[in-house]
Amino acid sequence: MTITVDSQAASTPTGSNRITALLSSVAGETLASRARFAVFTVSTGAVLTESVVGSYWDLARIPYVVDTFADLQYPMYFATILGVSKLAAVGATLVPGFPRLEEWAYAGLVFVYAGAAASHFAVGDPAPKWISPLVFAGPTFVSWALRAPAQRDPKPLPEALRFRAMIGGQVPSADRDIAGYPASAIRIRSRRWGFRRARLCWSRFGCRPGVLLIQANPADRRKTMDSVIDQIDRALDMTGAIVATVDDDRLVAPTPCQDWDVREVLNHVVGGIHLFAAALSGTDAGAEHEDDWLGIDPQGAYAAAAEVDRAAWHRPDALTGTVHLSLGDLPGRAAATVHLTELVVHGVDLALGVHRPDLADDELCAELLATMQAMGGIDGFRKPGMFDNEVAVAADAPAHRRLLGYVGRTW
């Protein structure tokens, strides 16, 4: 089986320490993606403001609304329906973790604007009356189109990894052996409905309400899964703990990854995860690597990406296929090591960027460093856009520092 990553090559700035060249040749977040995010923010703000104000006008039945409804021959109770619906749309748009509901909210707002325009046109109102609702349909389309991939309705997880919540959280017997794990290794995560045997998975884990995500107990996973897959899981956990500490102020903090701040590194990681997972599962990632993957909820974007990544790497054929990268075709196991390098080193970049080196998994960093050295080193990859020359670090330094020094990071 050959898996191809569909992305266009792009060069990275000279002297950067970025690892992505091992994953793809697509550069990180560009000025264009920043502009895209700015347009998304402005258009979304306009739509939400109009919806909130419009809801108030409808529910309060101000004179303008009363006159308009009389002109359109609408019953006044319809104003209450519109006001409540607009507030619901605002809530669905702002609350993370409900991408499908957000899709419906955008569609509903477009129907409202289109219906208003059609109504004014039908009763013979002048052009400004029926064109003005369509003006707000424009920003709605723009906001919908420029959402971060993590805010879009995700492709469902493989059926073997999920099932619908049931009263009491009972696990169907057919699902007890999932993805090769014995029933004793299965654990169900949740945070919401207080099931005795299960807790409902919430946005921290990138799940949709009503879906329980089944994950293996790490202790049992080590007994049944390949060690590199376990290392990828640990890298995702490590980076997830680091990302959880990132607030808005820290998003602009510098990192050991030259020229990139915390948000740029995190966006790069999330985009890379989606591209790699899409290649492994034979699906479309839905965006390019340099696009904005974080949107307004960086933590939620990472959580969703991490679970997609886990599902992709726990496929039975993940290590037996061939993955096509910019540096050539790689066996699945070698590609997994490339991906692990991306996750661990950039995870440490984030840890130091937010001043939380204590969250770096030194055991995992030491394992990756030993793997690199056992493979004959990375001297062949020490070039602009990949790795810089090794930086001397004290032998007794923490493993994450020694790993960064080995790949050419200075901090």
Three-state SS sequence of 170-217: CCCHHHCCECCECHHHEEEECCCCCCCCCCCCCHHHCCCCCEEEEEEC
Spatial CA neighbour of 300 closest among 96, 93, 44, 95: 96
Cα 100 to chain centroid, rounded: 15
Measuring CA to CA, which residue among 261, 257, 266, 254 is closest to residue 293?
Answer: 266
Looking at residue 401, its pLDDT comes to: 93
- pTM here is 0.51
- What pLDDT score does 272 carry? 87
**Can you list the residues of the chain whose pLDDT is less than 50?**
1-31, 154-225
3 state SS of 162: strand
Q: What pLDDT sits at residue 38? A: 85
At 99, which amino acid appears? P
What dihedral angle (degrees, nearest 10) is formed by the CA atoms of 260, 266, 245, 225?
-130
The predicted pLDDT at position 11 comes to: 34
Q: What is the pLDDT of residue 354?
A: 94
Residue the block writes with tokens 């509901």: 101
Burial (0-12, 13-18, 19+ Cβ within 10 Å), 353: buried
- The sheet carrying 162-164 orders its strands as 162-164, 211-216, 186-189
CA distances from 310 to 160, 208, 268, 295, 313 (A): 13, 16, 18, 22, 5
* Residue where the block lists tokens 């039945």: 61
Which tens digit of pLDDT belongs to each residue from 235-287?
999 999 999 999 888 999 999 988 899 999 999 999 889 888 888 777 777 77
CA separation, residue 114 to residues 32, 83, 195 (Å):
31, 16, 43
pLDDT in the model for residue 24: 37
Amino acid found at 377? G
Q: Round to whole Å and give the CA distance between 382 and 408.
A: 8
Nearest Cα to 137, choosing from 154, 121, 118?
118
